[in-house]
A and B are shown apart, each in its own frame.
Chain A
Amino acid sequence: MNSASQMLDALRPFLVYFALVIAIVVAMLALSWLLGQRQSRPAKDYPYESGIVSVGSAHFRISVHFYITAILFIIFDLEVVFLFAWAVAVRENGWAGFIEISIFIGILTVALLYLWRIGALDWRTQTQRRQLHSLQGPGGVTNIAPETGGRS
């Protein structure tokens, strides 16, 4: 009970700060709501799509491609949590802890390598890859040497 109230005491500046932040944000929104003009025009009922009435809504099934990133994030971010715990206590854990975490990071790296090999980390489209492969030379003007071309 005592420790809880101590913690509350320590947190009090934060709570005050939090309250102030909320107050400011609410005040900003309220003020703009009060001061803002209000107009109603038919064009306002359309979502902005470069000035043309849109086809279909913006809510639809998107390709699975987009969820891969989210899954990667979840996997890696969870693993990073262990790294946090180790980093703050490097000295306490000593070399034994270091070896353990090296193994851990090693496994992580192998997983990353695997992901790279199966192409999960390549977000390019087929066309982008193909066109980049068919490049001839460094690009740019080929028939005029840069130092002579510039002379006028």
Chain B
Amino acid sequence: MKFEVGSALSIAAILFTVIVVAAMLIWVERRLLGLWQERLGPNRVGPFGLLQVVADMIKIFTKEDWVPPFADRFSFLLAPPIIMVVILLSFSVIPFAPGVGVIDSDIGVLFVLAMASLGAYSVMLGGLSSNNKYALLGSLRAAAQMVSYEVFMGISLLGVVALAGTFNLREIVLSQADGWYILPQCVGFLIFVIAGVAESHRLPFDIPEAEQEIVAGYHTEYSGMKFGMFFVGEYLGVVLVSSLIVVLFFGGWLGPAFLPPIVWFVLKASVFVAFFVLLRAAIPRPRYDQLMNYGWLFLLPLSLLNLLLTGAFVLWQEGM
């Protein structure tokens, strides 16, 4: 029996950390938004409002766990856990540092993309099962947006895959020892960031839950922890996309030796988390048709071109 209690504990630690980080991100985001919007943000509960998350947790756990009588009970219950599960599972292939990570999968990139596709089910099921018109509009929008951006997201990563010659995320990090992929893959990076925001449907791509338009979109009828799962799922998504950016384009844990690798990883990821919050503070929301148009007519050809050029570059470098 090679598998030990120790590694089980480290797996549990990773999971725990990821969830806590996502929960704390709610506080971080509110404080950062406050900073950028000439206001304070939560500052009453605990020092700097740090315990706000705890207060929110207590509140959300004691809210009524309600299934509307008019909803389709089974899919209504199923939708929120799906988003939690698929995003948490995506973290299993992320290499946080040497020796820190759940599994070294040879199909890491594919696994993450597959999980992202499954995430669309959560949003669609939630919206369709609610039997609410706002939720229906939200899930229709979500379906269109997520399936479209999935295509570009996949292709945008292929440049990195071509350079590294592997789908294994840990090997991708290691192959960046001579230079991060952000330089040769800046186009791929931009496309991935855009697609990543669209996949985690945050502002400016929060079309499926656009508050000003369709109230809360697909989770209009959700309350209590089931709503909380959608909510935390969004923040988990931000952490995931930030981690992926770091792994794929910014050399993962690699960095000068005066800081331990895991610290490098966390630092880099934090920058992107803050970037996503800033994005939310700064940019208005495009319309559904503009978003789709932009994706299909601009991002898709661009990502294809990027892939072809990268392929040619790799072959030319090999001297073939």
Binding site for B on A (CB under 8 A): 9-14, 16-18, 20-22, 24-26, 28-29, 31-33, 35-39, 44-50, 54, 57-59, 62, 66, 69-70, 72-73, 76-77, 80, 83-84, 86-91, 94-95, 98, 101-102, 105, 108-109, 112, 115-116, 121-124, 128
Contact = CB atoms under 8 A, between A and B. Distances in A.
A35 B308 CA distance: 55
Contacts of B165: 88-91
B65 interface: yes
- Tell me which of A47, A57, A101 has the highest count of chain B C-beta atoms within 10 A of its own C-beta: A47
A121 B68 contact: no
Given A28-B225, A58-B133, A80 B3 contact: no
- Tell me which of A66, A72, A84, A128 has the highest count of chain B C-beta atoms within 10 A of its own C-beta: A84
Q: Which 10 A-B pairs give the minimum distances between C-beta atoms?
A: A32-B225, A123-B289, A73-B147, A87-B158, A36-B65, A47-B132, A69-B144, A14-B103, A87-B161, A33-B65
B75 interface: no
Nearest to B292: A123
Interface in B1-23: 2-3, 7-8, 11-12, 14-15, 19
B289 A122 contact: yes
Given A73-B150, A88-B165, A90-B165, A17 B304 contact: no
A112 B300 contact: yes
Contacts of A91: 165, 314-315, 318, 320
Contact of A20 (B2, B12, B60, B221): B12
B62 A35 contact: yes
Contacts of B155: 80, 83
Contacts of A89: 165
B240 to A, nearest CB: 13
A116 to B, nearest CB: 6
Q: Please report whether the interface of chain A is mostly helix, strand, loop or mixed according to DSSP.
A: helix
Given A84-B110, A128-B289, A76 B60 contact: no
Given A88-B165, A90-B162, A16 B64 contact: no
A78 to B, nearest CB: 10
B270 interface: no
B65 A32 contact: yes
Nearest to A60: B136
A58 B89 contact: no
A106 to B, nearest CB: 10
A84 B224 CA distance: 41
A112 B304 CA distance: 12
A35 B61 contact: yes
Contacts of A32: 60-61, 63, 65, 224-226, 228
A38 B223 CA distance: 12
B167 interface: yes
Contacts of A20: 11-12, 15
Contact of B140 (A21, A66, A109): A66
Contacts of B62: 35-37
Contacts of B154: 77, 80, 84
- Tell me which of B85, B130, B307, B311 has the highest count of chain A C-beta atoms within 10 A of its own C-beta: B311
Contacts of A121: 292-293, 296-297
29 contacts: A16-B8, A21-B84, A21-B85, A24-B15, A24-B88, A25-B81, A25-B88, A35-B62, A36-B64, A36-B66, A44-B68, A45-B68, A48-B134, A69-B148, A73-B147, A84-B158, A84-B161, A88-B167, A91-B318, A98-B311, A98-B315, A101-B311, A108-B304, A115-B296, A116-B296, A116-B297, A121-B293, A122-B293, A124-B289
Interface string B283-306: 000001100110011001100100
Nearest to B163: A90
Contacts of B92: 13-14, 17-18
A36 B61 contact: yes
Contacts of B14: 17
Contact of B315 (A11, A26, A36, A94): A94
